[in-house]
Amino acid sequence: MAAGLEWSQSTPVIDMTHWRTGDETLQDMVAQQVETAAREFGFFYVDNHGIPADVAANAENAMREFFDLPPEVKHQIAADKSRALKTGRGYAGLHDEQLDVSHNGKPDLKEVLDLGLPLGDSTQTYLGPNPWPASMPQLQNATEPYLKAALSLGTELLSVVARSVGLPNNGFAGIFEEPLVVQRLMRYPAKNNINTTASEGLGCGAHYDFGGLTLLRQIDAPGLQVQHPAGRSVDSSHVHIDRAIYSTTQGTFFSDLHNTHSVDWTPVDAHSKLLVVTFGEAMQRLTNGKVQATRHRVVHSGASARHSMAVFVDPNPYKKVAPLPELVGTGPKYSARIAGHKTVLLATAVAMKQGNLFNNGKYLGFGLV
């Protein structure tokens, strides 16, 4: 892969080698490339990302081994969906999630394992410790190095995005101090392994991610599709996401994110040496809409299973997310919200109604609805 941003019909590639030189001119070039990619594509690839190949391979092999475990073993570490539908640590099986909850949405055809990043020297993560399968004690040592390496890259990319919108490189540092970092391991089954009645729906329904940046590794098959950002058009070539009720379609910040996208879904090819970076709702709010959240879905119809690993680098869940003063221009487009998480907020609302805001001395959620 050549250095720099290589444009094809749907392929913006950012080479981090230039950024890491520290040269102001080269960093400006990379930042401009990210600005263009965010505005025209809604995503970009990262080349020379710095995650060691052996670290990635160990995580991938362990992920495959985990998903090949018997269903009853995987369900021993099932995520507690009564507490937080998506943020809960642990395993969720086929149809246990539905990211598109619109009238056209259907349960997702995927398995996931959600893992958090321990805070400092603690074994705790936001929303509690990670569950590890007793029959696979090596899973933690195989996956955690990848998560930490991806966070390091994500921190660099936050600096790039900050520069791309005219902020200092450390412009997002405060809101992302001790961030909410989630590693999501995913398997989408082969179509011939799904019975006819269960085969309706997508691998993952259309949605926005909650937070800052998502770093995706598509391992053995493509499947990610995005709808490119667009101007506020009303013609049939665009779809407008506006004024929906609270849902994972609209996410934490729901009706005040007014976005327009191309009606077409653009496939994002899988490249073994590249990561895909997409933008979340919190990034749109922080930048006052200069960076639009990426609307995306996963479609998999292959003869073999599809595996992928995503790392979500999201704001500290206790911080307020609001348009940064340097970017408001004539005024902020969005009001301030506690970062939290789209489904943590739901759990908090339930706890408030029950008069139980604390769980073992800790706040159950991260913000008020």
Q: What is the pLDDT of residue 352?
A: 43
SS3 28: helix
Q: What is the pLDDT of residue 194?
A: 67
What is the rounded average pLDDT of the residues 247-266?
Answer: 66
SS3 184: strand
Per-residue model confidence as pLDDT tens digits over 99-141: 776 777 888 899 999 999 887 777 777 777 899 999 999 999 9
Distances (CA, A) of 281 to 12, 18, 312, 342: 21, 28, 12, 10
Distance of CA 319 to the CA centre of its chain: 18
For the chain, the average pLDDT equals: 82
What angle separates helix 53-67 from helix 139-164, to the nearest 10 degrees? Answer: 120
Residue type, 161: V
The one-character DSSP state at 293 is P
SS3 205: strand
- Cα torsion through 353, 354, 358, 364, rounded to 10: -60
Q: What is the pLDDT of residue 48?
A: 97
Angle at the Cα of 301 from the Cα atoms of 37 and 204, rounded to 5 degrees: 55
Q: What is the pLDDT of residue 234?
A: 54
What is the rounded average pLDDT of the residues 239-246?
Answer: 50
Percent of the chain topping pLDDT 70: 78
The one-character DSSP state at 102 is S
In terms of C-beta density within 10 A (0-12 exposed, 13-18 middle, 19 or more buried), how is residue 121 classed? exposed
What is the rounded average pLDDT of the residues 305-323?
Answer: 92
Among 225, 262, 288, which residue's Cα sits nearest to residue 43? 225
Q: What is the pLDDT of residue 207?
A: 86
Is the pLDDT score of 10 beyond 80? Answer: no
Instruction: Give residue 368's pLDDT band: very low, low, confident or very high (50, 70, 90).
Output: very low
In terms of C-beta density within 10 A (0-12 exposed, 13-18 middle, 19 or more buried), how is residue 72 classed? exposed
Per-residue model confidence as pLDDT tens digits over 148-197: 999 999 999 999 999 999 999 999 999 999 998 999 999 999 987 665 44
What is the rounded average pLDDT of the residues 239-265?
Answer: 61
User: In sequence order, what are the residues at sequence separation of 6 or more whose Cβ sits closer than 8 angstroms to the Cβ of residue 354?
Assistant: none
